[in-house]
Amino acid sequence: MFGLFGLGFGMMMGAVPTSVPQLVLFGNWILEVDFRRKWAQLKTNKIFWALSSVFFVHLLGLLYSQDLQAAVDDARTKLPLMLLPLFFFTAKPAITQKEFYNALYFFIAGCLVNTLWCLFYSFVLHHNEVVRDASRFMSHIRLGLYLNIAIATCVYFAVKAENFYKRAGMILLSVYFVFVLYILGLASGLANFAILFLLVLCVIIYRQRTGIKVAGLIILVGFIALLVNYVAGIKESQLNVKTTKNSELLQRSPSGRPYLHFETKGQKENGHYVQINVQPEELQREWKKLLPADSFNYSPPHNLERYVVLLRYLSSKGLNKDSAGIASLNEEDKENIRKGISNYEYPSWSYLHKRTYELVNEYDEFVNSRGINGHSLTMRLYFWKAAVYLIKKNILFGVGTGDVQAELNKAYIETHSPLKEEWYKRPHNQFLTITVALGVTGLLVFLWSIIYPGFVLRNFFPKLFWPFFIISIVSFFLEDTLETQAGCTFYAFFIALFIVIAFNRKSEVINASS
């Protein structure tokens, strides 16, 4: 129980608190001995072998991997997919409903401690401008994943609670976790929450009488309209060109020097074109006067990131990119530019507004065939393209457990990808990643591990299983969820816990009927 509850809590606290409880579970499993009974329980348990098959097929992939060290590291990451079902299925006595609930309570406690620290770090100790820095113990994508399960768990306990105070407490916690998704700008987490919320709302509406169905549909449409309006408002303020004197193509700056116009219909900040009315010499000279240590040069290239930020920041204020524009900057503006902030309104925005602003810019860059490097959403198209290219060349068994990244690096070059080498990443799609590594064979095994247990035990799962299942599948389409310790342990812990509870319930029904 210490290992189980410790893992439920520790998953939210980083790598070491995730690993230690698993070592406790392993040590406990060894000290129990009784291996004959354990093997007898496992050898005919098709559910266990289905869950563990993903780990074992990765072991087979070691046999034809060129990079053995990377293969071993990858197999070690996948180890919880086999170990946690092993521990839970052979536990004696079997995990009870109460223990299952307690594990979930510890998980909620871990989410609470994690998020309180993230909020304290971001808004009290520091003033984070970078959205991705808001999550302190794991990636912001993993945190959003965990928090969605926490929200679903709190709602589940609230519905089941007989005590008013417990119900109220769980409702407040669920509202708090939704607030955290918003305040920390966890866009993927909010997208998952929206999907889950809409699906649950659809199910509830479907089961109601006509009058309630109409009211539910109005709420559903209103929720969708609210989301669309929020994104559309940011898109409009960012991309709709404002009609001002500085939006026109001017010939000379106030000091008489000629303006350069690099793109007459290009990038925009707050509706102002970035690449027009630029006087580079004045920018370089005046900025160097203000902050010599932060100066930039064109030839030889030096600190040109600052030049790019200056263009965007001045444009966001509707200023031309010249000495007059620099003179209009106040101390706060100068500090923002020094920090790499490219829009003067950026510091006042919420994390969610910042993330939506980034996505809107990514969209604009992509549809106008400009740069896509560093853009997490649009780069996925090229990640997937390289993955499909490799799959076609190694369709049956893939490239091997340890060779995914090395082979992808080659694929990016061979497909003439516009991505820079630093952005040669994995596919960000779990189905594609497994197919690259292990071919269609590995993909079928992975699908079997997901579908078979769910089909066999579908009538015995706690209702909380289905939100977890939906969130996991969505994450598999958009992320390499099982390629990191945090993601793999998250999935292995919950899938094993839910399936063992359902398996025990089914066994009890069968034993009772016989």
- Please state which of the ranges 98-112, 180-194, 247-261 shows the lowest mean pLDDT: 180-194
Q: Give the tokens for residue 65.
A: 């991997």
- Please state which of the ranges 50-59, 78-87, 188-197, 460-469 shows the lowest mean pLDDT: 188-197
Q: Which amino acid is at 126?
A: H
- Please state which of the ranges 184-188, 229-233, 497-501 shows the lowest mean pLDDT: 184-188
Is 381 domain-assigned? no
Burial pattern 212-248, b for ≥16 Cβ within 10 A else e, equals eeeebeeebeeeeeeeeeeeeebbeebbeeeeeebbe
Are residues 321 and 224 part of one domain? Answer: no
* 127 vs 373 pLDDT, higher one: 373
Confidence of residue 407 (pLDDT cuts 50, 70, 90): very high
Confidence of residue 132 (pLDDT cuts 50, 70, 90): low
* Contacts of residue 45, Cβ cutoff 8 Å, sequence gap at least 6: 89
Among 434, 433, 438, 450, CA closest to 491:
450
Q: Is the pLDDT of residue 227 over 80?
A: yes
pLDDT for position 130: 61
Are residues 425 and 464 part of one domain? Answer: yes
Can you tell me the distance from the alpha carbon of 7 to that of 382, in angstroms, rounded to the nearest whole number?
36
Q: List pLDDT tens digits, range 40-80.
A: 989 989 999 999 999 999 999 999 999 999 999 999 999 99
Instruction: Give me Rg for the CA atoms of the chain.
Output: 27
| Positive or negative torsion for Cα 365, 366, 370, 372 | positive
State percent of the chain over pLDDT 90. 50
Q: Is the pLDDT of residue 369 over 80?
A: no
Can you tell me the distance from the alpha carbon of 107 to that of 10, in angstroms, rounded to the nearest whole number?
8
pLDDT for position 514: 63
Are residues 272 and 316 part of one domain? Answer: yes
pLDDT for position 500: 93
Among 158, 49, 45, 177, CA closest to 108:
177
Is 391 domain-assigned? no
Can you tell me the distance from the alpha carbon of 124 to that of 487, in angstroms, rounded to the nearest whole number?
28
Task: Decide: 29 and 21 in contact? Cβ < 8 Å.
Answer: no
Is 65 domain-assigned? yes
Total of domains in the chain: 2
Q: At what angle do helices 35-43 and 80-89 cross, to 10 degrees?
A: 110
Confidence of residue 400 (pLDDT cuts 50, 70, 90): very high
State percent of the chain over pLDDT 70. 98
Is 412 domain-assigned? no
Is 379 domain-assigned? no
Residue with tokens 């919880």: 80
Is 387 domain-assigned? no
pLDDT for position 131: 59
Are residues 194 and 87 part of one domain? Answer: yes
Is 43 domain-assigned? yes
Task: Decide: 3 and 25 in contact? Cβ < 8 Å.
Answer: yes
Can you tell me the mean pLDDT for 332-340? 91
Check residue 343 and give left, alpha or beta (phi > 0: left; psi -120 to 50: alpha): beta
Are residues 69 and 190 part of one domain? Answer: yes
Q: List pLDDT tens digits, range 492-512.
A: 999 999 999 999 898 888 877
Kindly report the average pLDDT of the chain as a whole number: 89
Can you tell me the distance from the alpha carbon of 261 to that of 253, in angstroms, rounded to the nearest whole number?
12
pLDDT for position 206: 74
Is 394 domain-assigned? no
Can you tell me the mean pLDDT for 258-287? 89
Task: Decide: 440 and 395 in contact? Cβ < 8 Å.
Answer: yes
Are residues 217 and 174 part of one domain? Answer: yes
Are residues 265 and 190 part of one domain? Answer: no
Are residues 109 and 29 part of one domain? Answer: yes
Give the domain range for residue 107. 2-228+417-513
Can you tell me the distance from the alpha carbon of 341 to that of 403, in angstroms, rounded to the nearest whole number?
38
Q: List pLDDT tens digits, range 151-165.
A: 999 999 999 888 899
Q: List pLDDT tens digits, range 95-106.
A: 888 999 999 999
Are residues 140 and 17 part of one domain? Answer: yes
Residue at which a domain ends, from 314, 348, 382: 348
Residue at which a domain ends, from 348, 370, 396: 348
Are residues 316 and 427 part of one domain? Answer: no
Can you tell me the distance from the alpha carbon of 32 to that of 174, in angstroms, rounded to the nearest whole number?
38
Are residues 200 and 271 part of one domain? Answer: no
Residue at which a domain ends, from 303, 332, 348: 348
Confidence of residue 433 (pLDDT cuts 50, 70, 90): very high
Query: Cα 376–377–379 angle (5° rounding)?
Result: 70
Among 130, 74, 197, CA closest to 349:
130
Q: Is the pLDDT of residue 290 over 80?
A: yes
* 122 DSSP assignment: I
Query: CA–CA distance from 240 to each of 261, 268, 273, 372 (Å)?
Result: 19, 9, 10, 21
Can you tell me the distance from the alpha carbon of 43 to that of 47, in angstroms, rounded to the nearest whole number?
10
Are residues 221 and 262 part of one domain? Answer: no
Q: Is the pLDDT of residue 371 over 80?
A: no
Can you tell me the mean pLDDT for 251-271? 87
C-alpha neighbours within 13 Å on the C-beta side of residue 418: 13
Q: Is the pLDDT of residue 129 over 90?
A: no
Helix (H) or strand (E) holding 421: none
Task: Decide: 204 and 216 in contact? Cβ < 8 Å.
Answer: yes
